[in-house]
Structure 1
Amino acid sequence: MSQLNEEYTMTTAVATEAPTRPAPAGDPALIGVPTFIVGAIALGLVLTGYVPADAVGASIAIILPATGVGQLVAALWAASLGENAVAAVFGVFAGFWISYAVLVLGLIHNWFGISGDAAVATQGLFLIAWLVTIVLLTLTTLRLPAAFTLLFVLVDLALALALYGTVGHSTAATTAGGYAVFAFTAVGVYLFAGAISAATGGKPLPLGRPVLN
């Protein structure tokens, strides 16, 4: 019996002294933010008329394989770290970018059987649905640092201008939406600069106080 007790004690000691597996670490923003930036630049160039009006698919080669996939990878990475709010943000934007690519490709190749007369209403439907969703995201993330709130507000503005430009046939509003895209791209660049600085041993950039504490 004493031998069994000694073996049990030794087994318990070994189990207690076994090294604890370290928790996974990392920053999903290092993938999510730069892939967001490149897609936003491409979209902004389309909206401001860098390519002809009938070449709206020019940005899809960037938006679908780079931005859409990048946002999805960042969302899954954040979820694996237990960063639920970050995963939600990247997941929402993954949905936006991928669905935008599918919309453009679908309209160009007539995948959905949508007539030419219904194309504008279809784009309006897309923009309204995503505007409501991103506004909701904005309002529910006011406890994040102010830089994120600014980013989301500018995305809201860009979507609203693009919606008005589409359904109202206003080139000026669409172009203004493109410049709003460049504005939130600039915020994204700032966020990425802070993230990469922290990842390389520097100090993170200040992100501002949350609107709600």
Structure 2
Amino acid sequence: MSTTSESRTQNPTAPGGAADPTRSIADPGPLGLAAFALTTFVLSLFNAGLAPEALEPTVLPLALFYGGLAQLIAGLWEFRKANTFGATAFVSYGSFWLAFAAYVKFIEPSIPEADHSTATGIFLIGWAVFTGYMLIASLRTTGALVAVFALLFLTFLLLAVGDLTGVDGIATVGGFVGLLTAIAAWYASFAVVTNATWGRQVLPTAPRS
């Protein structure tokens, strides 16, 4: 999700003419996006009803180590790159996956089964709010990231509404939108890492001024 780092690659000096001390640090954005994409894709397979519900615990290791830990690390490096947007996004969504794993493993089993959907809906609605204002902030990044955040906002909203209302069909639609979110995030990661490797724009990300 790093946009400021791309501009600093083209301009080796920081504001005020000082040498940019982060120029030699690799862009952590593609890692964070890839970690988010894969974990979201696997969970969305279950939310969409495309994978057996009994296998859903397979998401937890991804949520802990890739979607969680790797994304958290990417976010901390975004702080070092002075990218406020990327740092806020990756640390937050990395923490989301860690919290999700803890919720499923430790909290949900202690909640009465009849209240599981309501509890999950409350958990998700807050993330819909956060993603909504991050979507507004993303409008000054790239078209690729705007697509990711728009789809993610819809995903959280549909899943939350589906759980709070008890309408399984809404949550299922949210699962399919989640798959689209993962694909969009994979593309954004693929584009940034490929363009960096090739040293030129191979895949467009539609930078926004």
Q: TM-score range by the shorter chain?
A: 0.7 to 0.9
Query: Helix, strand or coil: the match of 2:79?
Result: helix
Match of 2:129 in 1: 132
Tell me the distance in 2 between the aligned counterparts of 1:126 and 1:187.
24
The percentage of counterpart residues that share the same residue type is 24
Q: Which residue of 2 aligns with 1:106?
A: 106
Q: Report the Cα offset of residue 165 of structure 1.
A: 1.9
Offset of 1:168 from its aligned partner? Answer: 2.2
The answer to whether the 8 Å contact 1:46/1:59 transfers is no
Residue 150, structure 1, aligned to residue 147, structure 2: yes
The answer as to whether partners of 1:36 and 1:70 remain within 8 angstroms in 2 is: no
Matching of residue 185 in structure 1 with residue 193 in structure 2: no
Change (3 A) 1:54 1:171: farther
Residue identity matched to 2:86:
V
Matches within 5 A, 1:22-101: 23=22, 24-53=24-53, 55-101=55-101
Question: What code does the residue aligned with 1:33 have?
Answer: L
| Cα distance in 2 for residues equivalent to 1:202 and 1:21 | 19
Question: Aligned letter for 2:77?
Answer: W
Check the 8 A contact 1:157/1:180 in 2, yes or no: yes
| 1:118 to partner: Cα distance | 2.7
The one-letter code sitting in structure 2 at the alignment partner of 1:150 is A
Q: Distance in 2 between matches of 1:149 and 1:190?
A: 12
CA contact (8 A) 2:138 2:149 kept: no
Query: Given the two structures, how large is their TM-score scaled by the length of structure 1?
Result: 0.80
Distance 2:26 2:138 in 1: 22
Q: Which has the larger radius of gyration?
A: 1
Letter paired with 1:207: T
- Structure 1 residue 194: Cα displacement: 1.2
Could you tell me which runs of 5 or more consecutive residues in structure 1 were left unpaired when the two chains were aligned: 1-19
Cα-to-partner distance string for 1:142-170 (whole Å, 9 max, x where unaligned): 21112111110100111111112212222
Question: One-letter code of the match for 1:194?
Answer: A
Instruction: Output the CA distance in 2 between the equivalents of 1:147 and 1:190.
Output: 8
Query: Equivalent residue of 1:58, what SS?
Result: helix
Secondary structure, in 3 states, of the residue corresponding to 1:126? helix
CA distance in 2, matches of 1:208, 1:91: 24
> Would the alpha carbon gap of residues 109 and 65 (structure 1) be closer, same or farther in structure 2, given more than 3 Å must change?
farther
2:205 alignment partner in structure 1: 207
Answer whether contact 2:143 2:207 (CA < 8 A) is retained. yes
Runs of 4+ in 1 over 3 A off after TM superposition: 20-24, 50-56
